[in-house]
Copies of this chain bind each other. A is one copy, B any other.
Amino acid sequence: MDGDFIKVIPLGGVGEIGKNITALEVNDEIIVIDCGIAFPDEEMYGVDLIIPDISYLIDNKDKVKGLFITHGHEDHIGAIPYILKQLNMDVYGTKLTLAIIENKLREHNLVETSNLILVNPGEMVSFNNLSIEFIQSTHSIAESCCFAIKTKLGTIFHTGDFKIELTPIDDKVIDIDRISTIGKEGVLLLMADSTNVERSGYTMSERSIGNTFNRIFATAKGRVIIATFASNIHRMQQIVNASLDRKRKVAFAGRSMESISRMAVDLEYLHMPEDMLIEIDDIKNYNNENITIITTGSQGEPMAALARIAYGNHKKIKIESDDLFIISAAPIPGNDKLISKVINELFKKGADVIYEDLEEVHVSGHAYREELKLMHRLIKPKYFMPVHGEYRHLKHHKDLAISLGMDPSDTFILERGDVLLINKDEAKKEGKVKTGTVLVDGLGVGDVGTLVLRDRKHLAQDGLVNIVVTIERESFSIIAGPDIITRGFVYVKEAEELIKELKDIATNELQSCLDNRIIEWYLIKTNIKKAVERYIYDKTKRRPTIIPIIMEI
């Protein structure tokens, strides 16, 4: 390619929620921004999580200069251990972000081989063709950053996940001065968070929840047990503050809550008197009105602490009738039913429960429309590319940019793998790189694909019918079987008659094949399968997975 050029390649995070990762190629240097996971759809049976396909980075590994992380949420860092195993890169981030990443790498035994490089907000990292400036941003996790990437062709501004928080709990206000200066100097391309583009107005400040907590704590008679995201240290701080006012000790429940709170105290992101923090084992030593418990499970996850408490399976926390539970989070789409089940269970056991439908116990960490407009007005980019959202969000964010005066031809909605090519004359979508979704199931990374999922889905719908028979090839005779073995089809005791009929059908079909001296097993199997399938469908309107198995002696 002649002259300077920039390629912007989202390898995830556009046209989907989560799995945020973008490659930014400036001449012969590539930097990667974020490296997150996505959570599986309900039809992705058995899949634990989804990571990006980084074939493009591996194919260009000599160009890759490093991985730059905007903040420490799973959808921005969760895939790092998996990706580093495929391609070792230097990882750049703020102190808290790196601490969370290191925790994660430790679980994968990757700390030794990884190179984590601290960058404070306001600092810059430079390569030959580009430099990356970390800019203080605000989001539902501390020390989130926007990136300003300087190149010969101009500056690229990536917001990361953000909201315009003017009264943050740690007083680290989003650096509007700097953003404004960068905007005034001229920005070539803006990439901005689209999550809440469908919400009008302005997000409430995180601080507003503190008032709700104070009010709720003032009347709570027993323990207060609050579920929230472990990474939301500002929320934790507000719970701690409300507890301090009411002379309550604070304990943390749930693995990620325990580890992140410990880290947050050690690194001085979470401030509390030393004697205020107690272990869950010690809550029995205090009166109920002197205890606050902060717990995982705000999404109703069945294995998390909150659900275990609700269903009576938590070893150390049993529900008492004066307990007040607060679910300080919004349900992620798809989790409503799980959360509702937990709420019902808590009420049934006599506790009181407060959640978003009833009180202001949560605010979003993503900018609403007016905040997005402010960002656009400050940055005034030449080109715009909405990121972080499903297609509907990207579309509405593009429309928002146009409503602010941008030319539609200067706005770009990219699909995963699309390349936005920018040179001194123009920006245009050009070409596509290999990308996609890699499924993680247990220890397996990528070995579960479309075929396996299709089989699981089929098995899930109507179960399984095995038809097993042993045949002597020489004599064309049935030696044993056919036996019918089912799972998840019908309860066998109730369906003895049906099973017997299936056995007869399989026997007849098999015998007729053998009588006709058909020796191609696949043909026999197909015939048996078809006959049994037809009969089952007529009788039951179900389509179980049918597996004919012929053993030959």
Contacts and interface: CB of A to CB of B under 8 A. Distances in A.
Interface of A: 15, 41-42, 45-46, 198-199, 333-334, 336-337, 340, 343-345, 347-348, 353, 357-358, 390-392, 395, 441-444, 447-449, 451-453, 455-464, 466, 468-470, 479-481, 483, 485, 487-491, 494-495, 539-542, 545, 547, 549, 551-553
B547 A487 contact: yes
Secondary structure dominating the interface of A: mixed
Contacts of A45: 460-461, 488
Contacts of A451: 491
A172 to B, nearest CB: 31
A542 B442 contact: yes
Contacts of A456: 459-463, 488
Given A357-B198, A455-B488, A549 B447 contact: no
A342 to B, nearest CB: 10
A347 B462 contact: no
A459 B545 CA distance: 11
Contact of A198 (B344, B358, B469): B358
B545 A487 contact: yes
A392 B541 contact: no
25 contacts: A45-B461, A46-B462, A333-B337, A333-B340, A336-B336, A340-B392, A347-B395, A353-B392, A441-B462, A441-B542, A443-B540, A443-B541, A447-B495, A449-B491, A452-B490, A455-B463, A456-B463, A458-B488, A459-B464, A466-B549, A469-B551, A470-B479, A483-B549, A485-B547, A553-B553
Contacts of A458: 488
A331 B442 CA distance: 33
A130 to B, nearest CB: 32
A442 B540 contact: yes
A343 B488 contact: no
A288 B459 CA distance: 44
A283 to B, nearest CB: 26
A485 B549 contact: yes
Given A336-B336, A442-B542, 19 more contacts: A42-B337, A45-B461, A46-B460, A46-B463, A46-B488, A333-B337, A334-B334, A348-B391, A443-B542, A447-B494, A448-B491, A455-B463, A456-B461, A459-B459, A459-B463, A459-B488, A468-B549, A480-B551, A551-B551
Nearest to A548: B485
Contacts of A41: 337
A458 B46 CA distance: 9
A457 B460 CA distance: 6
A453 B545 CA distance: 15
